Structure 1
Amino acid sequence: MMVQTGVLPERHEDLERVPAWLEHHLADKPVEHANLFRPFLHWHLLRRARSRAGKRAFPTTVGRDLRRRILVALDLLAWIDIQDTTLEDLQQDDLDRWLDEENTQRRNRIRYFLSWTADRGLSRRLTVLPIPCQEPADILDDDERWQLLQRCLTDETLPIEARAAGALILIFALQAQRIRHLTADQLTEKGDDTY
């Protein structure tokens, strides 16, 4: 209630749970890993996330994204330990080998951690290629798109939210994530039209 009335600033509970989650995950990790991850989380990931939350609509997945970045970095450090090397001595070919071991795109999130460590002189500047954009598996032809748009505009058996979102996707190719964050104050009425 105090947040709603403006007495207290908005608190993003998902973000505020991340430090305790990190401490739980660091319990059985080497001390040097813990000493590296605490500042990475508090002074890099959380600071940037809180700053962004103050400027624009707050994505509900940000806590999950921060956890994934940390878990991937913990995986890399565990792998480095097994290889009997250090983060400071990690070479590009070592990183490429680690990235290729797992056939998923999850490990590409390591770029955030490695950029942070390189900026602080804790590692070399290493390159993590961006995840290649994947083409849609099934593309609608124009007739199918127009039929779906017609249904979104006229089929009153569908919920209005689904019809509006479907129309925005079909007309403007907006991503569902962006549509989800639209608010009523972003609509403008001019005469009989709404924009």
Structure 2
Amino acid sequence: MANVFEFVAETRSATGSSAAKIVRRQGKVPAVIYGGSEAPAMLVLDHNELLKQLAHEAVYSHVLDIKVDGRTEKAILKHIQRHPAKPQILHIDFMRVDESHKVKVHVPLHFINEATSIGVKKGGAVSHAMADVEVACMPSALPEFIEVDMANVDVGVTLHLSDLVLPAGVEIPELQQGSEHDHPVVQISKPKGESASEEASA
């Protein structure tokens, strides 16, 4: 994890919806940081700076530096509330990270070799069921993304969670709950019209 993301925040004392509206009118974003042995702390961050940071895909799967009143806390992004119609962040939640305990984070999936895969060369169409996956690992082992190699995927084949190649020390909590939780990730379906022609032949 070469990237280091630092969020500069200030503490805030006023709470409630009216106080949050005042913060937003000032071009800032209300936030909270919680978890660990310390009590939750209410924060405010600069909206424009926050948007710049959130433009990086890697920020969602990294341990972040939250600089508050001169001291730095380690945390991960836990929830972002966005405006339904505007490019505006309404609220953001950070969860403190303990370097000695595992964290659960949603990590993006990067699909490679789709255009040159066996199935696509035969005319098949790629269909993604997931864009990211929740992983559990120590903070130091947190991957920026999980790569899904499509090169050898044929027509009619579906890759599931159990097919993902994970870095050392990384696991998928969903798979610990049984085979019924081995959800599909991506598949290559038959070329359009092929199913209809097969039925006609039958």
- TM bin, normalised by shorter chain, reads under 0.3
Q: TM-score, normalised by structure 1?
A: 0.24
Q: TM-score, normalised by structure 2?
A: 0.23
Higher RCO, Cα 8 Å, sep 6+: 2
Structure that is richer in strand per residue: 2
> Which structure would you say has the larger Rg?
1
Structure that is richer in helix per residue: 1
